[in-house]
Amino acid sequence: MNKKIIAIINPVSAGGKTAEVWPEMSKHFKKEINNFTEKYTKEPGDAIRIAKEAVELNYDYLLAVGGDGTVNEIINGMLLVKDKNVNTKLVIYAQGTGSDLSRTLKLPKRIDELINLIKTGKSKKIKVVEANFVNSKLEKEKRYFLNIADCGMGAEVAKKLNENKKITSGSLNYILRIFQVLFNYQNKKVKIEADNKLIYQGKINTAVIAHGNYFGGGIKVAPEADLFGDKLNLILLKDFSRLGIVLNLIKGYKGKHLSHPLVDSYQVEELKIMTKESVELELDGESVGRCNAKFKISEREIDVLI
C-alpha cells in the first residue's frame, strides 16, 4: 500500500498496557504498509501537536492508538488546521480503558481487520461538537469532541479516573470510580436552555450531551443519539437518589433507562447549561473544566475510517 500513514501512540492509555502491547502490534502494520511512521506521546497535549503537524504534512491516514482521550486530542489537533477540508483520514485503534467512541462505531478490534479497513479506505464524515466552557485555569476555552460530554456526576467520575492510576485496563475502572464518587456526590442545581428556550430548571445528577451512544466504559446512555446526524441528544439524569443511580445502572448499560420518570431525552441543535454551583465538565472522557458551558454541532468534520 502506498499511502502515507502515521500512528500516534499514547503509551499510558489502558492503564499503561498500550506501551507493552504496541511494539508487537506495530510489526503487523509495518509489514503491510510501506510508508508507516509512528510517534509516541510524551505528555498530555502531545497528540494535539503531532496530529496538527501530520495534517500539515499531508499524511493520508492518522492512526490513533489509545483511548477516547487520545482521539479527542487528535481531532482537536487536526482541526487546528484552518483549511475546512482536512484530507487526512482518522483511523482508530482502540487501546483505551473505556474506548466508548469505537464501541459506537463498532470498529474492528483485530489488527488484520483494521489493516483491511485501511486498505479499503472506506470512511464516513462525522461533524464534531463544539464546546465552549471555562477551563481549570479559569480561562474561556473552545474544544471539539466527537462522542459525549457531560456535566455533573459523570464528569466527576472522569476526573477521578484522570487523576488516579487505572486499576485494570477495562470498564471495571469506571464501575469502581462510579461507586467512589456516588458516595459523596450531591445533585446540582442547573438551568438549561436548548435552541433558545428554557427547557429545564432544577436539580440534576448528570446532563449528558451526546453525539455518540456510550460513555463510562460501555454505559449506553444515549441509545437514540446519531453520531452521523446533525443533532445533539441531551439526556438529563435528574434528581436521582444514590440508590436510584445504583438500581438503574444495569438498565443504563443496556440502554433501557429512557422510560424512567427521572430521565429526559431531547434532540437539540445547541444548548447552554448554566449553574451557580461548581459543576465538573468532561469531553470524551477528559476532565477539562466546569459547566457553565455551551454546545453545538460544528460545521467542521472529521473523516473516519469505518
Ligand X SMILES: Nc1ncnc2c1ncn2[C@@H]1O[C@H](COP(=O)(O)OP(=O)(O)OP(=O)(O)O)[C@@H](O)[C@H]1O
| Near ligand X by CB under 6 A: residue from 22, 36, 62, 67 | 67
Burial class, 149, CB count within 10 angstroms (exposed 0-12 / middle 13-18 / buried 19+): buried
Q: What is the CB neighbour count within 10 angstroms for residue 26?
A: 16
How far apart are the C-alpha atoms of 257 and 263, rounded to whole Å? 7
The verdict on 285 binding ligand X (CB under 6 A) reads yes
The verdict on 219 binding ligand X (CB under 6 A) reads no
Q: What is the CB neighbour count within 10 angstroms for residue 42?
A: 9
The verdict on 55 binding ligand X (CB under 6 A) reads no
Going by the DSSP 8-state scheme, the letter that residue 167 receives in this structure is S
The verdict on 16 binding ligand X (CB under 6 A) reads no
| Near ligand X by CB under 6 A: residue from 24, 42, 139, 163 | 42
Looking at beta carbons only, is 73 or 280 nearer to ligand X?
A: 73
Q: What is the CB neighbour count within 10 angstroms for residue 19?
A: 15
**Which helix (H) or strand (E) covers residue 252, if one does?**
helix 242-254
- Cell (9 digits) for 304: 473516519
Looking at beta carbons only, is 214 or 240 nearer to ligand X?
A: 214
How far apart are the C-alpha atoms of 207 and 248, rounded to whole Å? 16
Question: In the window 96-135, what residues touch ligand X (CB under 6 A)?
Answer: 96-99
Q: Taking CB positions, which residue lies at the least distance from ligand X?
A: 67
The verdict on 244 binding ligand X (CB under 6 A) reads no
Q: Which stretch binds ligand X (CB under 6 A): 90-98, 109-117, 190-198, 254-262?
A: 90-98
How far apart are the C-alpha atoms of 105 and 62, rounded to whole Å? 17
Question: Closest approach of Cβ 47 to ligand X, in Å?
Answer: 6
> What size, in residues, is the chain?
306
How far apart are the C-alpha atoms of 46 and 302, rounded to whole Å? 19
Question: Closest approach of Cβ 161 to ligand X, in Å?
Answer: 7
From residue 147 to residue 176, the character string flagging contacts with ligand X as x (rule: CB under 6 A) and all else as - is ---------------x--------------
Of 181, 189, 164, 202, nearest in space to 246 by CA: 181
Q: Which stretch binds ligand X (CB under 6 A): 38-46, 178-186, 247-255, 296-304?
A: 38-46
Q: Which stretch binds ligand X (CB under 6 A): 51-59, 92-100, 148-156, 259-267?
A: 92-100
Residues that bind ligand X (CB under 6 A): 10-14, 41-44, 46, 66-70, 73, 96-99, 162, 285-286
